[in-house]
Amino acid sequence: MDGLHPGLEDISVAETRLSSIDGEAGELLIGGVPVEELAANATYEETVFLLLNDRLPTVEELKAFRSALASHRAIGEETRAVLRRAANEEKPPMDALRMGLSTASLGVEDETTQTAVRRVIAVVPTIVSTYWRYREDNDPIAPRSDLRHAENYLYMMTGDEPTQAAVRGLETYLNTVVDHGLNASTFTARVVVSAESDVVSAATAAVGTLKGPLHGGAPGPVLEMLEEVFETGGPEAYVRAKLDAGERLMGFGHRVYRVRDPRAEVLSTAAEQFYDAGGDAEFFAATKTFEDVATDLLAEHKPQRRLETNVEFYTAVLLAGVGVPKELFTTTFAVARVGGWMAHALEQLDDNKLVRPRSRYTGRSDRRWKPIDDR
């Protein structure tokens, strides 16, 4: 066997038209469009249509696609019962999403793959918001078909129609993180459908992967860090203490990017626009100061590495601003990324080959069977 590549690092296993990452230059294309252009201008439905169809929709196509997604938002009583129990037992939100999503095909017969894809994308926000309403001892709020995808998600959390500034902020976030190469959860989705399994199973497995703290769990701790420093002051003392203790500074550094994460740039701009429109301007100014201090000290402390701001830093700032509870940051990541998972699943099926890598055996080869009485 030639070579060993733990974690499949730097191994290309698929061709894709969905996103392109240049880690050295700090550039990201989604469906061929620079992320900074797409995220700031498109609705989430336009972005998902682009990924699924390899082009932006016309006015009529967007209207039809938005209607098709909205028609699949509702969840059944069986799913609500699972989410109610998960909330009563205080299961983590990602566990609740995994359990709820696995029930998404109940009551559905003879559904095409394309319809199942739309259903999966549509129900994730409903599952997350329903769980959260139960967790907060409130009745769930039914989805509304007249609201856009991002708008409806915020509405189902609170029962109040969100401001357009909040909708634009959330929509920018969803577009920014909808797809990002062959990350762990996306690869999982492709592996599942490569066995010609169904897309609900693929999405559920992807959620299980995203649940791991090495993949999608950092924005919550970033917000806690920023809130602590905002309350106590002294970002320099905080950062120096972390670095001197050998601890990781959340929100900085990325496995792929060697410069500032382009998604951080997009979300920084979106957060600034949101906070300028009526958010906590003092808190946002403090986060900008923290970023400047942290990047300077990281460069001083680890001059051999470039540890720049990553997507998680401004994810925390923006999502907190638009009203998403920090407990739902990772599930909101799933609300966005499920569009990418489903596009990758369909791309895999277009020219499918079962994903079947090999492993290198390192165990013993000199054992022989012994009857149990001789052991």
β strands within 185-334, DSSP E: none
Token match 């699949």: residue? Answer: 72
Are 293 and 239 spatial neighbours (Cβ–Cβ below 8 Å)? yes
DSSP, residue by residue, 26-52: TEEEETTEEHHHHHHH--HHHHHHHHH
Q: Which H or E run contains 22?
A: strand 19-22
Exactly one of 149, 312, 344, 347 is catalytic; which is it?
Answer: 312
How is the chain split among helix, strand and coil, in percent rounded to 5? 60, 5, 40
3-class DSSP state of 20: strand
3-class DSSP state of 338: helix
3-class DSSP state of 309: strand
Is residue 37 annotated as part of the catalytic site, yes or no? no
Question: What value does the CA radius of gyration of the chain take, rounded to a whole number of Å?
Answer: 22
Alpha-carbon gap, residue 264 to 315, rounded angstroms: 8
DSSP 163: P
φ, ψ (nearest 5 deg) of residue 39: -60, -40
Are 185 and 215 spatial neighbours (Cβ–Cβ below 8 Å)? yes
Cα dist. 19→29, 35, 47, 54, 178 in Å?
A: 5, 9, 12, 11, 10
Q: Report the 10 Å Cβ neighbour count for 371.
A: 6
Are 127 and 78 spatial neighbours (Cβ–Cβ below 8 Å)? no
Is residue 312 annotated as part of the catalytic site, yes or no? yes
> Within 13 A of 163's CA, how many CA atoms are on the CB side?
11
Exactly one of 254, 272, 291, 347 is catalytic; which is it?
Answer: 254
Alpha-carbon gap, residue 103 to 367, rounded angstroms: 45
Alpha-carbon gap, residue 184 to 192, rounded angstroms: 12
44: nearest Cα among 199, 152, 148, 163: 148
Q: What amino acid positions are annotated as catalytic residues?
A: 254, 312
